[in-house]
């Protein structure tokens, strides 16, 4: 490598160290003795199976008596099957009650599955469950609302720019779900907690337990962040061949990486949970309604790649603003205390 190349590599390394990702407080308790591939893989497998079993068990406990009651009241047994098929159609637009039900069903069932995964994984890897969501003494609400508001504002501005300047089509599903201002307000109030919970449990599993323990397995920071992003994309059904969309896969992978950056820098998942919830809320309210459909894949798009790169830059910028801009940092609250040098983990 020539001197210019070596100088560039050194400059990038200095910037990376300056951002403090390698010395994240989220990794502060990890030691070389904690590294165990069999515990890590068993944690993913057993946690996944246990979490799915828990979610299905609770769903059946609720659904079975409900079906009996509704059948006794004269409901056609085919109705639930027809409804489930309907909400999987790409062009399905849920009404007010159905939209609320779908969002909260996602929050509850995903919550059971991913909290179960994290609990089992924490037991198998012999680490405190609490450290999978924050390194602070208690949950930091300032971080949560900071991520929600800050990322919501910049992502909303980006969406508005695309509509106003680039003339991208906009559907505004909120006004189809809730056609009056009062109903729209009620819908937002009722569904915001559901989206925060849905985002929070994904952050708990991916930017909490999985991120911490994959950091033990892979020495290179970019590698375990990429690993996290790819798995995060896979759970959104991006692995289904008939519906695989390379643009969505890349976007979710990069988003997962950006959320990892937030969690590592802030020392917990509170800030990334807020940002994650803001992303989902803006999509559901202003871009496309939430349903269970898996749309057909689209060919690779450079425009989509550029949009994804901008999204990642915004996620990093918002995180750094929450740490480095004094008045924003005062509102959000301080990040956790940093870890020692990463070499200590891999000693």
pLDDT tens-digit map of 184-241: 999 999 999 999 999 999 999 999 999 998 988 887 888 899 999 999 998 877 666 6
Distance CA 278, CA 276 (A): 5
pLDDT tens string 277-294: 999 999 888 888 787 777
Measure the CA–CA gap between 312 and 254, rounded to whole angstroms: 7
Averaged pLDDT for residues 22-28? 79
DSSP letter string, 189-242: HHHHHHHHHHHHHHHIIIIIIIHHHHHHH-SSHHHHHHHHHHHHHIIIIIT-GG
pLDDT, position 191: 93
Best-predicted range by mean pLDDT (73-77, 78-82, 267-271, 296-300) = 267-271
pLDDT exceeds cutoff 60 at 105: yes
- Whole-angstrom Cα distance, residue 115 to residue 234? 18
- CB 163, CB 282: distance < 8 Å: no
Helix residue spans in the chain (DSSP H): 3-19, 37-72, 78-86, 96-124, 141-164, 174-177, 181-203, 211-217, 221-233, 246-266, 270-286, 302-324, 326-332
- Residues 127 and 34 sit within 8 Å (Cβ to Cβ): yes
Q: Looking up tokens 């749309």, which residue turns up?
A: 295
pTM given for the model: 0.88
With CA atoms as reference, report the closest residue to 153 among 262, 281, 248, 267: 281
Question: What is the predicted pLDDT for the residue at 108?
Answer: 92
Q: Nearest-CA neighbor of 337 among 286, 267, 274, 290? A: 267
Residue 117: closest CA among 241, 208, 31, 205: 205
What pLDDT does 347 receive? Answer: 38
Who contacts 55 (Cβ-Cβ below 8 Å, separation ≥6)?
109, 110, 112, 113, 116
Does 15 have pLDDT greater than 60? no
Residue 175: which pLDDT band, with cuts at 50, 70 and 90?
A: confident
Check pLDDT > 80 for residue 344.
no
Mean pLDDT within 334-344: 58
Tokens for 158, please give them. Answer: 């980006």
Burial class (CB in 10 A: 0-12, 13-18, 19+), 289: buried
Average pLDDT over the chain reads 84
- Condensed to tens digits (0 to 9), the pLDDT of residues 81-91 reads 777 777 777 77
């Amino acid at each position: 490598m020539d001197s210019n190349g070596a100088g560039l590599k050194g400059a990038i390394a200095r910037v990376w160290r300056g951002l403090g990702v390698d010395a994240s407080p989220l990794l502060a308790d990890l030691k070389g003795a904690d590294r165990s591939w069999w515990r890590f893989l068993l944690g993913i497998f057993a946690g996944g199976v246990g979490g799915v079993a828990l979610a299905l068990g609770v769903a059946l406990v609720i659904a079975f008596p409900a079906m009996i009651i509704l059948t006794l009241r004269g409901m056609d047994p085919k109705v639930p099957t027809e409804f489930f098929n309907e909400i999987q159609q790409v062009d399905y637009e849920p009404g007010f009650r159905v939209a609320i039900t779908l969002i909260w069903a996602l929050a509850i069932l995903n919550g059971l599955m991913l909290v179960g995964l994290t609990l089992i994984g924490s037991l198998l890897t012999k680490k405190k469950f609490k450290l999978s969501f924050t390194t602070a003494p208690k949950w930091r609400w300032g971080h949560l609302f900071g991520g929600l508001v800050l990322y919501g504002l910049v992502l909303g501005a980006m969406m508005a720019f695309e509509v106003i300047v680039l003339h991208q089509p906009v559907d505004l599903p909120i006004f189809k779900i809730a056609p009056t201002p009062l109903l729209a307000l009620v819908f937002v109030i009722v569904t915001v907690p559901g989206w925060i919970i849905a985002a929070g449990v994904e952050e708990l599993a991916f930017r909490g337990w999985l991120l911490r323990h994959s950091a033990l397995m892979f020495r290179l920071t970019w590698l375990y962040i990429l690993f996290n992003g790819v798995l995060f994309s896979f759970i959104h059904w991006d692995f289904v061949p008939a519906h695989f969309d390379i643009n969505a896969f890349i976007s979710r992978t990069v988003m997962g990486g950006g959320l990892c950056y937030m969690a590592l820098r802030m020392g917990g998942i509170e800030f990334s949970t807020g940002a994650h919830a803001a992303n989902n809320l803006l999509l559901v309210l202003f871009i496309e309604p939430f349903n269970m459909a898996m749309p057909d894949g689209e060919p690779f798009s450079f425009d989509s790649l550029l949009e994804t790169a901008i999204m990642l830059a915004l996620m990093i910028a918002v995180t750094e603003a929450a740490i480095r801009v004094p008045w924003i940092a005062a509102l959000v609250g301080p990040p956790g205390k940093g870890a020692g040098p990463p070499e200590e983990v891999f000693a």
